[in-house]
Amino acid sequence: MRHLVLAPVIASATLIAVLLSSVNVKAADEDTWQLLQKAAVAARALSYKGIFVCQTSKQIKSVEITHLFDGQNEFARNVILDGSPREVLNHSGNVVIYNPQNEKIIIEKRRGQNMFPAVLPMNLDAIKVSYTLRQAEMERVAGRPAQVLVLEPKDALRYSYRFWVDTEYGLLLKSVMYNHRDEVMESISFNQVALMNTVALDWFKPKIDHSKSYVMENEQAVIANSDAAVDWEMKSLPAGYRKVDQMMRKVHGKTEPVTHVIFSDGLASVSLFIEHVSKQAKIKSTQKNILSSSGNTNFYTHINHGHLVTVVGDVPEATVVQIANAVVFKKTN
């Protein structure tokens, strides 16, 4: 009798417990994302100096980094310590690379994004759509205790990542990217790192080699966001990827510029190139596809309605092929 009375109480208590635990799971989940968010901020807002090692299937390079945040602007100088003495200077996202090539030093400009340890975007919303995040064990990296966070894709269209986040300061100490076979595609990890207590900027300049001449890399004519005469459209993008940029790239010696569209899922980027092919080439090369890869970069090109469609990205093969196949040309000829 007593049991019968208690049954609904127990049932409802169980129900409440289940509800509470799901709320807890949700809250714990949110806490984990907060750790990642902290890592995104710490990489930009802390001032630090250290040496990290970057390793891909091709090469290993040690890099000395000095990073300063003065409250408004970020300054970072990366000196590649192995091989050619390349330097990468970053002033709040404006990246200039000093790249020794034989007797010259080529000066290159890049968009400053995802430079280690600031590999994560400040806004994680896009990543939350396509990846799940969980906390794994604690590990020691560069003499610092770190919480391991595992970022796993919800589908096969992107790689997975592990992030080692300093438990005290939130700085990203190590980042590893894995393919679907759990093989390391790219690993970047501090060997040593220390916070800096200075606002001096005397270090923020490249070491100048007086025996060499400095030249800007070939200026390219990029026509921003030209929407004119679009004879193609994207049918359906792979899940989670969205267009982040589009430009026309003037190709030297060509009358027609190449359309360059960039897609991203928040972490990985893919480039799509579309250009007309000459009639001669068209006849010779119809039905030909090339799919190839180098390190973590995949490449796919094919001819579609008189256009050469090329996709390059640091994403799995399936993603580059899907993006190439999503291009649909409007029938004009």
If binding is defined by CB under 8 A, does position 113 make contact with other proteins? yes
| Residues 189-228 within binding reach of other proteins (CB under 8 A) | 189-198, 205-206, 208, 210, 213-220, 222
Going residue by residue from 271 to 310, which x/- string records binding to other proteins, judged by CB under 8 A?
A: x-x-x-x---x--xx-xxxxxxxxxxx-x-x-x----x-x
**Closest distance of CB 132 from other proteins, Å:** 16
Candidates 68, 124, 312, 323: give the one binding other proteins (CB under 8 A): 312
If binding is defined by CB under 8 A, does position 103 make contact with other proteins? no
| Residues in a beta bridge with 66 | 49, 77
Q: SS3 for 207?
A: coil
Candidates 32, 147, 264, 322: give the one binding other proteins (CB under 8 A): 264
| Residues 131-190 within binding reach of other proteins (CB under 8 A) | 136-137, 139-144, 148, 162, 168-169, 175-176, 178-179, 181-190
Q: How many CB atoms lie within 10 A of CB 180?
A: 12
Residue with tokens 């250009």: 275
| Residues 3-62 within binding reach of other proteins (CB under 8 A) | 49-51, 53-62
| Residues in a beta bridge with 276 | 307
**Closest distance of CB 59 from other proteins, Å:** 5
**CA-wise closest residue to 94 among 110, 115, 73, 108:** 110
**Closest distance of CB 52 from other proteins, Å:** 9
| Residues in a beta bridge with 96 | 89, 109
Q: How far apart are CA 92 and CA 112, in angstroms?
A: 8
**Closest distance of CB 6 from other proteins, Å:** 45
Tell me, what DSSP letter sits at residue 208? Answer: P
Could you tell me the sign of the dihedral formed by the alpha carbons of 128, 39, 295, 258, in that order? positive
If binding is defined by CB under 8 A, does position 237 make contact with other proteins? no
Residue type at 125 in one-letter notation: D
